[in-house]
Amino acid sequence: MSNKHIDRRAFLKGAAVTAAAAAITTRIAAPGEAAQTNATETEAKEPARMSERIIGRPGSDFMVDVIKATGIEYIASNPGSSFRSLQESIVNYGGNKKPEFLTCMHEESSVAMAHGYAKAAGKPMGILAHGTVGLQHAAMAVYNAWCDRVPVMIFAGNFLDADKRRPGVEWYHCVQDPAAMLRDFTKWDDQPASLQHFAESVMRGYKPATTPPMEPVVITADGYLQEASIQNEKKLHIPKLTRSIPPQGDSGAVAEAAKMLVAAERPVIIADRIARSQEGIKRLVELAEALNAPVVDLGGRMNFPTTHYLCRSGDRRATVAEADVALLLEVGDPWGQFNTVSDPHHEYRRLGKPDVKVIHISLGETLTKSNYQDMQRFMPVDLAIFGDAQSTLPGMTEAVKAATSLARRAALAGHTDKLRNDHRRMAERARNSASQGWDVTPVTTARLAAEMWNVIKREKWCATGRQDWARSLWPATEYYNFIGGSGGAGVGYTAPAAVGAALANRDNGIITVDIQPDGDLMYAPGVLWTAAHHKIPILMLMHNNRAYHQEVMHLQKMAALHNRRMDTAAIGTVIEKPNIDFAKLAQSQGVWAEGPISDPSKIGAALSRAVAVVKKGEPALMDVVCQGR
Ligand SMILES: Cc1ncc(C[n+]2csc(CCOP(=O)(O)OP(=O)(O)O)c2C)c(N)n1
Ligand SMILES: [Mg+2]
């Protein structure tokens, strides 16, 4: 509808309210509700003049319709004037529901929240970034999502038409090609020049974002298109959202792979970013059982139950070293499974058998760009199958069964006792090493994980953050138990990704627990406020080693290499003097918190109090002073 068609009375009424709203206090909307204004507090100024300029139906309303049509439920964002109209439309026109605006304190937090959310929810979140500066802040988190093959729908505000830009800051924040700075690590981008173009680009972009290998996509919401009134709305239409079915690997190649695996003496399955749902886990269990082959879950996703006798994730090196045929499923670093380069001497060492036969089912491997090196070292494989691993598994299992003679089946079944013993020994070893230093202060990471397990073991749980001990100690069978890692190891991911996952888990009765490194939280601790404000229940258990501990170790290594004093390794790497009081940091943002706790015997009771808060639907933080790693 254009200006001309707007009813004059509604127009004037709207003008009075709008002018008043500019000068009065706005009642802040609670999450999920639209903001309301109290127009009686002040006189409206110049209603008649404003009325001439009212935009009754801004383009951003249509943009909201488009976003709604994708099913995106949340838009995480730090506000910025390049999308002020879209933000206002989300709240007032869209009712702040589906999508709901999530207030973030850093664009990196917006994207990392979307990253964690997508893995827990199985669908992308939108984020809104403010022109140059917003996208610059978002960049590292986008890179993490790219490396982790996770979809994020990135919307960026920008005024492309220089003739319409306000002088000063608006110029600094506008950019000729907004997506350029993210183009090396996003799957697709567009800068729509009309509202119809915007509708088509969002529907077009959603498809590659959510088709494996899933990746972030950037679409500009031009500021002028947002703010100008819609012309000729009848001509606009929102195309249907269509999704692509991920491809299965070629059936001939799958049959050949099955024969290699059935004939192998020591097959191994190495799984990384394969499962997308419980169905993915089920399919991998079926394949592993058909082959009676050990599975190493690298943990990019929750792929395989830790309780299953074929799980050998804690025995990765030994299991891979003896394999004669390896089936890789969407593995991010194939070369690194069979080879290594030592630290600090950079010397090559082979880990796998020289003649191990390698099969890789992957789509991600073919999605490479030139500059960023997330493709990892080149690894020639014996059989590369282009296909989506989860979709290919049922065909692979069928082919394995078809290739297994009765005699072979009996021979494979004969391995079971040994495989069960191996699994038992692996679990025992993990328990033994976890019990070392059980009572020491500062607390060990293993003790932290064990205490956490005690309070959540009867719940539906999802573990984020530092998951190493949880993965080897906790019985995990459900897809929602683990969300994997950051992808690109860009620090600052853990806390916001945990909050994003917790948001997705909130409605499913799943308790999200985050073993949270201190250095990571300090990148953008405002995500605690976001969790409190939006009532996102999460239990953040601080792994507070008062250091960038990994970097302490690097500095120690270098000092040893250079044969120099080691005590200086703390300079620039420890976070002491003063110690950060994480409980106060959390409390100041409205998050229930306790700590610091140094005595391991006090953690259990404190965690029970924290879980009670989380069960009420709110975030809680427990600060525990911990050992290095
Ligand atoms: C953005 C970014 N900057 C720097 C690094 C280098 N880095 C790797 S680990 C690490 C320490 C992180 O500290 P913390 O989160 O407390 O974990 P800790 O090592 O103490 O367990 C740093 C700074 C990085 N990976 N990403
Ligand atoms: Mg630390």
551 lines ligand 1 (CB under 6 A): yes
DSSP letter (8 states) at residue 346:
-
Residue 128, classed as helix, strand or coil, is strand
Asked if residue 312 lies in contact with residue 422, where contact means CB atoms within 8 angstroms, the answer is yes
pLDDT at 17: 44
The more confident residue out of 278 and 25 is 278
Strands 339-341 and 348-350: antiparallel
- Looking up tokens 């989860």 gives 390
* Whether the predicted pLDDT of 11 surpasses 50: no
At 479, the amino acid letter reads: Y
Q: Which of 136, 467, 491, 576 for a ligand 1 pocket mutation test, highest count of atoms within 8 Å of Cβ?
A: 491
- The set of residues, in sequence order, having a beta carbon less than 8 Å from that of 577 and lying 6+ positions away, is none
Model confidence pLDDT, tens digit, residues 397-421: 999 999 999 999 999 999 999 999 9
Provide φ and ψ at 479, rounded to 5°: -60, -35
Place of tokens 């664009």: 107
CA atoms within 13 A on the CB side of 48: 0
If you count them, how many residues does the chain have? 629
| Ligand 1 binding pocket mutation candidate from 468, 493, 551 (most atoms within 8 A of CB) | 551
Q: Ligand 1 centre and the CA of 528: distance in Å?
A: 19
- Residues facing 101 on adjacent strands: 75
Mean pLDDT value across residues 597-615: 96
Q: Which ligand is nearest to the CA of 521?
A: 1
Whose C-alpha lies nearest to ligand 1, atom 12? 548
Cα 138 to Cα 109: distance, rounded to the nearest angstrom: 8
Q: How far is the CA of 625 from the centre of ligand 2 (A)?
A: 10
Determine contact, residues 270/328, Cβ cutoff 8 Å: yes
Per-residue pLDDT tens digits for 138-174: 999 999 999 999 999 999 999 999 999 999 999 999 9
Burial letters 283-294, b for 16+ CB under 10 A, else e: bbbbbbbbbbbb
Question: Residue 581 contacts by C-beta under 8 Å, 6 or more apart in sequence?
Answer: 596, 623
547 lines ligand 1 (CB under 6 A): yes
Ligand 1: nearest atom to the Cα of 492: 1
pLDDT over threshold 90, residue 622: yes
DSSP 8-state assignment for residue 626: B
Whether the CB of 520 sits within 6 Å of ligand 1: yes
Q: What is the dihedral of CA 434, 435, 437, 442, to 10 degrees?
A: 60
Shortest-distance ligand to the CA of residue 491:
1
Separation CA 151–CA 213 (nearest Å) = 9
- Would the CB of 124 count as within 6 Å of ligand 1? no
CA distance 224 to 60: 9
* pLDDT-based confidence at residue 368 (cuts at 50, 70, 90): confident
Cα of 544 to ligand 2 centre, how many Å? 6
The confidence score (pLDDT) of residue 596 equals: 97
Per-chain mean pLDDT for the chain: 92
**499: closest CA among 525, 475, 481?**
525
User: Cβ(108) to ligand 1 under 6 A?
Assistant: no
- pLDDT given for residue 572 in this prediction: 97
222 lines ligand 1 (CB under 6 A): no
pLDDT digits (tens, 9 = 90+) for 195-237: 999 999 999 999 999 999 999 999 999 999 999 999 999 999 9
Least trusted range by pLDDT, from 24-28, 315-319, 561-565 = 24-28
Indicate which atom in ligand 1 lies nearest the CA of residue 545: 20
Per-residue model confidence (pLDDT) at position 14 = 45
Lookup result for tokens 């296909």? 387
Q: Determine whether the shortest distance from the Cβ of 549 to ligand 1 is under 6 A.
A: yes
Cα angle 380, 382, 387 (rounded to 5 degrees) comes to: 90
Model pTM score: 0.93
**Which residue's C-alpha comes closest to atom 21 of ligand 1?**
549
Residue 555 CA to ligand 2 center (angstroms) comes to 15
> What sign does the CA torsion over 41, 45, 50, 51 have?
positive
Ligand 1 atom closest to Cα of residue 575? 16
CB of 554 shorter than 6 A to ligand 1:
no
CA 151, CA 154: separation in Å to the nearest integer?
A: 9
pLDDT of 365 over the 90 cut: no
Strand order in the sheet with 511-517: 461-465, 511-517, 539-544, 620-625, 592-597
Please compute the mean of the pLDDT values over residues 423-440 and round it to a whole number: 94
Residue 49 confidence (pLDDT):
61
DSSP-derived 3-state class of residue 565: coil
Nearest CA to ligand 1 atom 3: 491
How much of the chain, in percent, has pLDDT values that exceed 90? 89
